[in-house]
A = this chain, B = another copy of it.
Amino acid sequence: MKKATWKKTSFAEKIVEIIRTSPSINEMREQLQDYHDNDIAQSLQFLNRAERNLLYSALDAEWLAEIISYLDDPAEYIDEIGIDKLAEILNEMDADDAVDLWENIDESVKVKLRPMIDDETKSAILLINSYDDSEVGSLITTNYICIKQNLTIRQAMHELVKQAGENDNIGTIYVVDDKNRFCGAIDLKDLIVARENVPLDSIISYAYPYLLDHEKISESIEKIKDYAEDSLPVLNKDRRIIGIITAQDVVEAVDDELGEDYAKLAGLSAEEDLNETTRESMKKRLPWLIILLFLGMGVSTVVGAFEGVVAVLPVVICFQSLILDMAGNVGTQSLAVTIRVLMDEKLSAKDKLHLTFKEMKVGICNGALLGIMALVFLGAYIALFKGYAIGHAFLISGCVGISLLVAIVISSLVGTLVPILFHKIKVDPAVASGPLITTINDLVAVVTYYGLAWLLLVQLLHIV
C-alpha cells in the first residue's frame, strides 16, 4: 500500500520530478494517477518541450482533456499536441471546455480538425455558441446523467453506472418523461441509500428548480446561488434539457459578474489583467475619461461664472478641491451601495424609496458631522496661518462647512437616484452612473460653495 508523501514541496513540483525520473511510462502514469488534474496542468509550465511530449504520449486523450480544461491559457500547449490526439481530446472534453479550447485553435488547424470531430461534440459546440455570452445557455455543459421516469431503482442504478463512465457530474440525476421532457431530479444520495423495492417515483423531486436557456446570467445568478446545488438543469422552450450548470460554473460566473461591476465602478469598461496589451488597456479606460473630459469642460464653464468671487477673495479657491473630493467620495459610496442593492432583482418601489431615504439620512448625518469639523478646524487654520481676523476666518470656514453639508447630502441623493433611474430604463447603472454622478456632484458643489461665498462673504459681509 502506498503512502502519501508529506513534504513541503508543491504537488506541481513533485509531478515534475515524477516525469523526469520515472523509469518507465507505465510507472509514470501510475504515479500521476494520484495527483489532481489541476496540479498536472500547473506542472506543464515547469517542463521542457521534450518532457511535455513524453506526457502527451503517456496519457490517453480522456485524461489529457481533463488536464487541458484546467489550463488558463491552453493556446501555449495545443500546438505541441499532434492533430490526431488533439481531435481525440476535443471529442473527450466536456462541451463547454471544448468550446473554450476551440476558440484557442488557429484557423489553419481548425480546417484539418473539423472532419475529425465527432457529431456529438460538433453539435454541442454549435449549441453553446448559439447563445449570447450573457445568456445562461452559454454556460452549460452536456456532462450530466439523465434517465427515464419509468425505471425501477435497480434499472436507474444500472443506468447511472453505465452513463458515469462518460459523464462525471453524477451528484444529481435528471429525469425525463416519455417525451424526453425534463420532469424532475434525483439526489444521488437518495438513489444510493434507497432500498430496491421502493418505486423510483418516491425519490424523484418533481418540482425541481431549473433555468431557461435564454435567461440572462446576471439576472439568474442570485437564484442559482440561493439553491446552492451542485448543478441545475437548463431547459429550452420545449422543456428539453440542453445541459446543466455546475457549481464551478457558478463560481466563475459570480467572479465575472462581480469583477465586471468592480471594474465599472473604477471607470473601466471591462476587467483587465496583467497580460493585456497597452492598446487593449487604453481601449478599456479611455471611454469614461473622454466623456469625463467633456463633462468637465461643462463644469469649467460654471466655475468660470465665479471668476469674480475668486478675483476678490482668492482664499476661497483653497477649499474647492476639498469640497469636490468629499462630494465625489460620498457620491461613489452611495453609488456602490445602490448598485449592489439593485443587483437584488426583487426590489419594490417601497424598497427603493426606503433606500433613498436611508442614503439621505446618512448623508445629512455625515455631512453635518464633517461640516462642523471643517468649520472648527479650517476656521482655526485660516485665522492662524492666513492672517484673517477670527470672525472672518470662521465665516469663511462656515461657508466651507455649509457647502460640505449641502454637497454631501445632494451627492448622496444623486449617487442613489441616478443608478435607480438608469436601472429603471434598463441601462447598466454601474457603467452609466459614474461620469454623470461625478459631473452633477462637481456642479452642485461648485455652485453651492462659490455661490455661498459670493452671497455671504462678498455681498453681505464685505469681508474683502
Contacts and interface: CB of A to CB of B under 8 A. Distances in A.
Nearest to A145: B189
A328 B439 CA distance: 13
Contacts of A265: 262, 265-266, 336
Contact of A315 (B161, B258, B307): B307
A432 interface: no
A230 interface: yes
A284 B209 CA distance: 37
A366 B193 CA distance: 63
Contacts of A274: 341, 344, 351, 354-355, 358
How many identical chains are in the complex? 2
A171 to B, nearest CB: 5
A85 interface: no
A368 B288 CA distance: 16
Given A225-B251, A297-B381, A318 B314 contact: no
A236 interface: no
Contact of A328 (B38, B294, B328): B328
Contact of A282 (B255, B365, B385): B365
Interface string A161-187: 100110010110000010000011001
A336 B262 contact: yes
Nearest to A184: B4
Contact of A38 (B226, B341, B358, B385): B226
Contact of A255 (B254, B304, B333): B254
A286 interface: yes
B259 A230 contact: no
A304 B300 contact: no
Contact of A292 (B2, B258, B301, B325): B325
Contacts of A285: 330, 333, 362, 366
Nearest to A34: B206
Contacts of A2: 201, 206
B296 A207 contact: no
Contacts of A70: 226, 228
A442 interface: yes
Given A38-B228, A274-B354, A362 B193 contact: no
Given A36-B205, A301-B318, A266 B4 contact: no
Given A38-B226, A258-B258, A281-B358, 18 more contacts: A36-B227, A165-B193, A225-B255, A228-B251, A261-B262, A266-B335, A272-B340, A274-B355, A286-B366, A292-B329, A293-B370, A299-B321, A301-B381, A301-B385, A304-B318, A310-B311, A320-B320, A321-B324
Interface of A: 1-6, 11, 14, 33-36, 38-39, 42, 70, 149-150, 160-161, 164-165, 168, 170-171, 177, 183-184, 187-189, 192-193, 201-202, 204-209, 225-228, 230, 239, 247-248, 250-252, 254-255, 258-259, 261-263, 265-268, 271-274, 276, 278, 281-282, 285-286, 288-290, 292-294, 296-297, 299-301, 303-304, 306-308, 310-311, 314-315, 317-322, 324-326, 328-330, 332-333, 335-337, 340-341, 344, 351, 354-355, 358, 361-362, 365-366, 369-370, 373-374, 377-378, 381, 385-386, 438, 442, 446
8 contacts: A1-B201, A250-B251, A268-B333, A268-B336, A278-B361, A281-B337, A285-B366, A293-B326
